[in-house]
Amino acid sequence: MEWARIARSFFWPGGVIVLFLLIFHEPITDFIQNLDWIKLSPGGAEAGRHPPDQTQAPKPPGDDPPPEPTGPIQFAASNDTEQLRVLAYAWFYEKMYRLLHGTQTLALDYANKRPGGAPRSEMETYFAEHERRVKVAKLDYDPDWNQWISFMTDSGLLNQQGDLYQITPLGKAFLQWKVAEGVLDSPLL
């Protein structure tokens, strides 16, 4: 009889755990697969992701103006050479989307809305939000203003003119691509 009482004491919590895993199997699996690190200690466990590597900005595929996006993964192309150019830009946009922090995309969008360019003081508010998000996420990463802003200027999305940051035609095309593809900004950083 003692074993039956012990078994009953585990039945309810075990059933809840099994039900929880059945319902949330996919989100839990996706979460675990996207982790970069897990640290176990006697007091508990920690897990997280490393921020995207922004040590070297990708370069745009050419000096010509980027093609205009006309819809999801559709660009107007008249010949094979043009189609290759369009695909090169699509690859560049996808790579930039994967590497840019959400706060960088927000800053780029803000600079797009400022015809004369956005002053450094206003761009620094987006960097301050980036620092806040890094702190909240408890990432082992020390944000650096120069690296954060130069990633956008080195990749050709922004130009710096003195104290102003102006969006480039490539930066505008990237924002248009985001809208055409329906991609969202990263809420993490």
pLDDT of residue 115: 87
Mean pLDDT by 10 residues, the chain (189 residues): 73 74 74 68 71 66 63 55 75 84 91 93 94 85 89 91 93 88 72
- CA-based torsion, 63, 178, 189, 129: positive or negative: positive
Sort 154 into a burial class: Cβ within 10 Å, 0-12 / 13-18 / 19+.
middle
pLDDT of residue 2: 77
